[in-house]
Amino acid sequence: MTLIDKEACREAYNDVRDDNTETNWAVFTYDGPRIVPGGQGVEYEEFKNMCTDTARLFGFVRFMTGDDMSKRAKFALITWIGEDISGLQRAKVSTDKSLVKDVVQNYAKEFLTGDPKELEEDYIRQELKKAGGANYDAQA
């Protein structure tokens, strides 16, 4: 049975949410039967580099969205399952996601992918924009 290190994961989650830190992403990975923080950082590319064919992880990522009228932070919960992950492990990720959601409770949109194209920053920004409601770009 999978367990989650709630305190450590909550700390990483809050770090990404905190407007006073530069941290833009945190990753939660498997350490045996436990889900633990697997790293955090500023550059989105660093997060993408962790999403390999052999990885299964949960990413909590901050994106600045909006336009000249209003900029704001939007958060995405990204579940990554690499191509080389077995069927059993894939199934476990789906059930274990609820443990992560106990900690990561605030996000605009959720993504589940194993396709690097779906990690493209522009793609995720567009999806967050769609999920975000008001869009003042058209008024320019």
Q: Which domains does the chain have, with CATH numbers?
A: 3-132 (3.40.20.10)
Hey, what long-range contacts does 125-129 have (CB within 8 A, 24 or more apart)?
Answer: 125/63, 125/65, 127/76, 128/63, 128/65, 128/74, 128/76, 129/65
User: CA 80, 86, 92, 93: dihedral to nearest 10 degrees?
Assistant: 0
Q: Please determine, for residue 102, whether its predicted confidence score (pLDDT) is greater than 50.
A: yes
Q: Which residue has the higher pLDDT, 99 or 69?
A: 99
Q: Which residue's entry shows tokens 């039967």?
A: 33
How far, in Å, CA of 62 to CA of 26, rounded? 9
- pLDDT tens for 30-50 read 999 999 999 999 999 999 999
pLDDT digits (tens, 9 = 90+) for 72-88: 899 999 999 999 999 99
Please tell me the pTM assigned to this model: 0.91
* Mean pLDDT rounded to a whole number for the chain: 92
Q: pLDDT tier at 140 (50, 70, 90 boundaries)?
A: very low
Our measurement of the distance from residue 136's CA atom to the centroid of its chain's CA atoms, rounded to an integer in Å, reads 26
